[in-house]
Structure 1
Amino acid sequence: GYPIAPFPLKKLELYKLPKLKCVWDKELHSQVKFQCLHSITVSKCKSLSSLFPTPVAIHLTQLEELEINESGIVELIEKDVIVLRDVFPRLTSLKLEHLIELKCIYIGRYALRWLALKTLEGAFPNLQELKLDLSEQMEILHGHFHDGEFFYKLKVLELHHFSKVSAISTCHFVQSLTNLEKLVVCKSHLEELSIIMGAIEGPSHEQKVLLPFSRFFQHLKTLDVSCCDELSNMFTLTIAKNLVELTKLRVSNCKMLMEVIHDEGGEEGLEVTFNQLKHMELDGLTRLRCFSSFKYTLKFPLLEDVIVSGCPNMEFFSGGSIEAPKLDRVQASTKAWFWKGNLNITIQYMFEEMAMVVGVKFMQLSEFLELIGKWHSKLNSIKLSWQLESLIVDKCPSFINGIPSKLMVLLHNVRRLQVHDCELLEEIFDLEGLEVVESTRVLPSLLFLDLINLPKLGRLWNNNLQGMLRFNNLFCLNLYNCSNLRHAFAPVMVRCLANLWWIEIKECGQMEGVIAEEEGQGSAMVKITFPSLCFMTLECLPNLTSFLSGKNHTLDCPKIYSLTIARCPNMRSLTWQSL
């Protein structure tokens, strides 16, 4: 056969070729690669239904600009048995206009990722659903979107990762979608949702121009906003009044959000009615204080389903009266519901009882300020339904111990526990008052334990019942900068660590040995066994003399694969006996 050779063509323009059906000869492409192509323009080629065979597309690695308009394109890239992933990796500009037959870019299992894309311009009069994951520099050119012809039938729009640079053009694009029914905004630069929904502030705070919302969002039925960490409030009173068709509102994991409806010009006696709203979910909003703080009346004639979870600072729902005749409960988790007669009183009760955290799966305690004060003394039976899987106890300057005994028996699902930057913490687990039977049920799912920057830590738990604890699933232990810790374990504790696979201990200035000497131990030899341990790192431990402090202890690690010991100047041996 002939050798495969790159073709030097850099720019390809096809214009007014009404009978053109094929651009690339598949047989020829097996011998010639168009790897130098930087720009492709196709215009007024009515018979061309597909532009790229898959074998051609995957070799266009230098393509930067692609423009197609007024052609018969049904799919941009032909479906093929070849798995298409990183196609057009250098594409910076994509313009698709007046392609009335276009159904898709590519029919395949994998999403196309164009990380270099900066400009997207197009008109898709029949498109009903669009999902865009925008790069930091990507911008949507809106042009004359107000004409209504470009995305006239678009009903569902998802926007991910749009940046401050692209916010204005993206917002103009959204405002042109007159038939939009579902809007999802995720992990994007937003300080106010009002920006994307049509509120434009003038040169002073008092001067504000409100666009005709009924035109832009009269059909909006679902609004889903998540992971927009700069968003401080959702929308103004005027916008709220014009969401006449909204049936579902979901806001989640927006760390800075303090209020859903915010309007400093709000007056008493005003009414806001969400005529069609049936479902509302507020989840993972750690700074949320309320739905609205102003004293106007909120009406929800059809509202039946309210979920509030992971909102520990939500003190009340509204500063004014609330009418929700069909609502009879607020859900905090799959297993916990609450109702105290009306929505405001229920939210206040949930705040006082810390009920809004029962459905949380990930908790960083420093974000739950109300919970910190109740951590050791005021937790009650409502916490029995906690579903925590990952817990970070951090920046709690008054804590002497990390996990109180009455809380330990409730954390059945916790898989990862991290304790860090608690300057007075002396022990991790407080076993005081724990019964022997209860001790066998403590943290049964724990896999990962990380202890970091704890200058007063002297032991993991007190001596009572330490031989009864069973951390049989513990997989990974990390100790870092625990400067007062002399030993990690007592020998009796090692028997409870049958599945420990990884140990890493660094920057613990007072550590003398990983395993302490057992009190009252006679002259009989005792074997300390880590049956599953594969990786161990001991680094920057200036007082460490040996792994085992006991003179009559021997160490057995039958599966050890990697052992690293560094900057331990006083280390004499892993054990007093041979390994």
Structure 2
Amino acid sequence: MISDGQFAADLFCNVKFLRISCYFDVSAIFPISFLRRFYNLEGLDVVFCNFKELASFESEVHEDKYMSITTPKIKKLKLDLVNNIRHLWKLDSPLDHICASLECLELWQCNNLINLGLDLSFFETLTTLDVWKCNGMSELITSFKVQSLVCLVTMRIRECEMMREVVASDEGETSYEIVFRALKHLELHCLQRLVSFCLGNYTLRFPSLEQVTLSQCPRMKNFYQGVLSTPQLHKVQLTATDFRGRWAGDLNATVEQLYKEQVGYRGLKNLKLSDFPELINIWSRNPQEMLDFTTLKFLEVCDSNNLRYIFNLSMVFRLGQLRQMEIKRCNNLEQVIKEEDSITMVEEAITDNSKIINIFPRLQSITVESCPDITSFYLGSKGLECPSLLEIKIANCSNMTTLISTFSRDEDKESIIGDEVDNVSTFFSNKVSFSFNKSSFIHLSHG
């Protein structure tokens, strides 16, 4: 770390932006005193560092009056991949002075960050708050602290896996009014556990709110169940470019309608099906009812006893982006892909009179574990080809005697499968090819 006395006091006085990155010593202390050399600093980025805190939580006294005078007051702070940090800082720490005029706060990929928390004075000047991939957050801020966000104009919360509500209740408080006076733009994106903006008993008022963008929040049944006022809002956008938007008379009614239509599942890239019991019920009844999953890249199906198969054959044509599939502990599962009684749609998809169907064009990995009733990945009259497949792992599936009923491999591809499997030939026959490359392998275990 740079020593404080290493440079002349005025060497950095004209620097407007500072980036601290790639410092991995977990015992390191954030160089708070060194920042006083940057008299006119306006922007500070802390990226890919192991700092546990940006300033000590113990009450600290400035070294001297000179430090208070020369310490900069930044307007923008960004923390990106600062994974060890749990809280930002406490009132009366040196950073409290540095961020006294903070306007923009970006918190990206800080997975141990619990919430904004603590007594942060900069809330009163903050106009933009952007939170992305902070997977340790179950809420953003408590209801008492939110009263300080008097200047907040834009709030974006995206891809936070554990986020259940944005505003959480403070313990022991009575109901009161919460007003976001200046908030105009609100974006909630890919928050798979979010059930409501707030679960407390308050009156929520958004007198300036003009734009709400809501996407990939499949559990959000309503925006807020209590008293809600949004006089300037007349639509909910599904994307930033969805200028027409949706509107059912008010914000709550619109969110409820989107939930009933299962719009929140559109555009999902990662789906853990076990997290959505209501979705499993639909899936087990008829996978054809499922909405557009053309963007899905990762699918995990675990601990389900309701599914006898995952896909029917016609459904797989909509999964062109799927890269990874994991199926574990599904006791009644018999096949992964089932061929329908009528395969007209499948036959129409084959344009070259071939009996081989190219499915999952980007699928690279298949894992099937601890599914005692499964007998095959696919049994059907058509052959399947997965041109990008790199890895197949089958473990603890004692009744699985056939992976694919129709499968062919060239002699040079057979050598890639590996010496650990003695009965590979029983898993494949002679019609379809998985296009293995040189890094491909298959692991079969019935332990």
1:260 aligned residue = 166
Partner of 2:271: 363
Counterpart CA distance in 2 for 1:351 and 1:173 is: 45
8 Å Cα contact 2:386/2:433 also seen in 1: no
| TM-score where L is the length of structure 1 | 0.62
Alignment deviations for residues 354-395 of structure 1 (CA, whole Å, 9 cap, x no partner): 211212212122223332222233667782375212222222
Q: CA deviation at 1:267?
A: 4.6
Instruction: Indicate the residue corresponding to 1:282 in structure 2.
Output: 188
Return the match for 1:114 from 14, 23, 37: 23
* 2:336 equivalent to 1:428: yes
CA 299–174 in structure 1, closer or farther in 2 if over 3 Å, else same: farther
Distance 1:168-1:246 versus aligned 2 partners, 3 A rule: closer
Take 1:420 and 1:514, find their aligned partners in 2: how far apart are those partners? 24
Partners of 1:501 and 1:532 within 8 A in 2: no
- 2:399 pairs with 1:484: yes
What is the CA–CA distance in structure 2 between the aligned matches of 1:361 and 1:403, rounded to whole Å? 17
Unpaired runs of at least 5, structure 1: 1-63, 75-98, 199-212, 519-525, 544-579
Residues 1:456 and 2:373 aligned together: yes
Moved more, 162-171 or 322-331: 162-171
Q: Distance in 2 between matches of 1:300 and 1:504?
A: 62
Shift of 1:402: 1.6
Alignment of 1:333-482 (within 5 A): 333=239, 337-377=245-285, 383-384=291-292, 386-405=294-313, 407-432=315-340, 433-435=342-344, 436-437=346-347, 440=350, 443-453=359-369, 454-463=371-380, 465-467=381-383, 469-482=384-397
Question: What amino acid maps onto 2:130 in structure 1?
Answer: D
Pairwise CA distance, 1:154: 0.4
Give the superposition deviation at 1:423: 2.5
1:400 shift after superposition: 1.3
Match of 2:438, as an amino acid?
C
What secondary structure, in the 3-state scheme, does the structure 1 residue paired with 2:169 have? coil
1:129 to 28, 39, 43: 43
Give the drift of 1:233: 2.0
Equivalent AA in structure 1 for residue 208 of structure 2: L
Structure 2 counterpart of 1:427, one-letter code:
Q
Match of 2:236 among 330, 340, 346: 330
Count of residue correspondences? 420
Select 1:306's aligned residue among 209, 212, 218: 212
> Given that residues 130 and 157 in structure 1 are in contact (C-alpha distance below 8 angstroms), is that contact kept between their aligned partners in structure 2?
yes
Evaluate the alpha carbon distance shift between residue 309 and residue 244 of structure 1 in structure 2; reply closer, same or farther with a 3 A threshold: same
Deviation per residue, 1:512-536 (Å, 9 max, x gap): 4445576xxxxxxx79877754356
Amino acid at match of 1:237: S
Cross-structure match for 1:66: 3
Answering whether residue 106 of structure 2 is matched by residue 184 of structure 1, we say yes
- Aligned partners of 1:527, 1:240: CA distance in 2, in Å? 63
Q: 1:354 to 1:540 in 2, by over 3 A?
A: closer
- Per-residue CA distance 1:25-70 (angstroms, 9 max, x = gap): xxxxxxxxxxxxxxxxxxxxxxxxxxxxxxxxxxxxxxx6622378
Alpha carbons 2:53, 2:88 under 8 Å: kept: no
Which 5+ residue runs of structure 2 have no aligned equivalent? 351-356
User: Is the contact made by 2:165 and 2:198 (CA closer than 8 Å) also made in structure 1?
Assistant: yes
Equivalent residue of 1:461, what SS? strand
AA of the residue aligned to 2:168: H
SS of the aligned residue for 2:402 comes to: coil
Give 1:179 deviation, angstroms: 0.8
Q: Is 2:310–2:337's contact at 8 Å kept on the other side of the alignment?
A: yes
Corresponding residue for residue 13 of structure 1: none
Distance 1:412 1:540 in 2: 26
Query: Take 2:7 and 2:446, find their aligned partners in 1: how far apart are those partners?
Result: 74
Q: Hey, what's the Cα distance between the residues in 2 that align with 1:478 and 1:159? A: 38
Partner residue in 1 for 2:197: 291
Deviations 1:517-570 (A, max 9, x none): 76xxxxxxx798777543565667689xxxxxxxxxxxxxxxxxxxxxxxxxxx
> C-alpha distance in 2, partners of 1:144/1:220?
25
1:335-360, Cα deviation, whole Å (9 max, x unpaired): 87543222112222222332112122
Contact 2:303 2:328 in 1 (8 A): yes
Does the CA-based 8 Å contact 1:486-1:513 persist in structure 2? no
1:233 aligns with 2:156: no
- Equivalent of 1:156, from 56, 70, 76? 76
One-letter identity of the residue aligned with 2:151? E
Q: Distance in 2 between matches of 1:235 and 1:541?
A: 47
Describe the SS at the equivalent of 1:130.
strand
Q: Aligned partners of 2:338, 2:61: CA distance in 1, in Å?
A: 66
1:193 aligns with 2:121: no
User: Is residue 72–residue 102 contact of structure 1 (8 Å, CA) maintained in 2?
Assistant: no
SS in 1 for 2:282: coil
1:250 alignment partner, SS class = strand
Amino acid at match of 2:5: I
Letter of the structure 2 residue corresponding to residue 372 of structure 1: I
Q: Give the partner amino acid of 2:4.
A: E
Distance 1:352 1:325, change over 3 A: same
Q: Report what 1:494 is aligned to.
A: 408
Counterpart residue type for residue 400 of structure 2: L
8 Å contact from structure 2 (residues 39, 70) kept in 1 = yes
Q: Pick one of 530, 534, 547 that aligns with 2:438.
A: 534
> Contact between 2:53 and 2:89, CA under 8 Å: does it hold in 1?
no
Select which of 100, 106, 121 maps to 2:13.
Answer: 100
Kindly tell me: are residues 144 and 154 of structure 1, through their superposed partners in 2, closer, same or farther at Cα, counting changes over 3 Å? farther
Whole-angstrom distance in 2 between the partners of 1:316 and 1:370: 16
**Deviation, structure 1 residue 438:** 5.5
Whole-angstrom distance in 2 between the partners of 1:501 and 1:439: 32
Partner Cα separation in structure 2 for residue 499 and residue 517 of structure 1 = 13
